[in-house]
Amino acid sequence: MKQTILALALVISPIFAFSQIEIPKPAQVQAFSYEDKDWGVAEASKPQGPPFGKPTPTTIPGARVIKTIELRALLDANKQVVVIDVLDSKTRTTIPGAYWMPGAGDSRFYGAEKSRFAAALEKIVGADKSRPIVFMCLSSECWESYNACLHAIEAGYKDVLWYRGGTNAWSGANLDRKRPERFNW
């Protein structure tokens, strides 16, 4: 009986599966500014509180991690990818075309914040919860983008990517940065 149920589950599960964007795999693997450093931190399934500037895990439940060269190739190949920078700062330069949502990586999200965040994402992606969204902040020692990924997953988004290296890795690769317009949420 158990084998029959398992076999049935394997046949049915692809029907309910959603497709995720393929992350390009560059011929040469290169990391910048500790984006792949394992700090020995366990992944967390709940947003982590302040201080946000501390080492992060190398994985995140429900999302995928993307590195600098992969992200650059993905952005070049697919204009549907949305990048959201959540670093809470007074001034900011970030990946060209990224939305800037300071505070969206806060760990203290209650009903009102969750609703505002979900509404903002809906405006950005046009209510397409399967559209790939990349969250970023400063570096692999910043929890704000990790937290934002968890918020997006909770809001029902299916293709969430965490750019763990953030601005430091992007700059380390000598890629362009621009001053973004703040997306008020």
Q: What is the pLDDT of residues 104-152, one digit of tens each?
A: 999 999 999 999 999 999 999 998 999 999 999 999 999 999 999 999 9
Q: Is 167 exposed, middle or buried (0-12, 13-18, 19+ CB in 10 A)?
A: buried
Q: What is the CATH number of the domain that holds 155?
A: 3.40.250.10
Q: Does 180 fall in a domain?
A: no
- The token pair at 108 is 């203290």
Closest by CA to 144, choosing from 117, 164, 122, 169, is: 164
Q: Does 76 fall in a domain?
A: yes
Q: Flag whether pLDDT at 7 surpasses 90.
A: no
For residue 60, give Cα distances in angstroms to 39, 57, 73, 105, 166.
14, 7, 22, 14, 15
Centroid of chain to Cα 3? 37
Q: Does 15 fall in a domain?
A: no
Q: Is the Cβ–Cβ distance between 132 and 161 less than 8 Å?
A: yes
Quote the pTM value: 0.88
Domain of 127? 21-172
pLDDT of residue 2: 39
Q: Does 184 fall in a domain?
A: no
Could you give the angle at the alpha carbon of 71 between the alpha carbons of 109 and 44, nearest 5°?
35
Q: What are the pLDDT digits (tens) for 11-46?
A: 333 334 457 999 988 887 789 999 999 999 999 999
Q: Does 63 fall in a domain?
A: yes
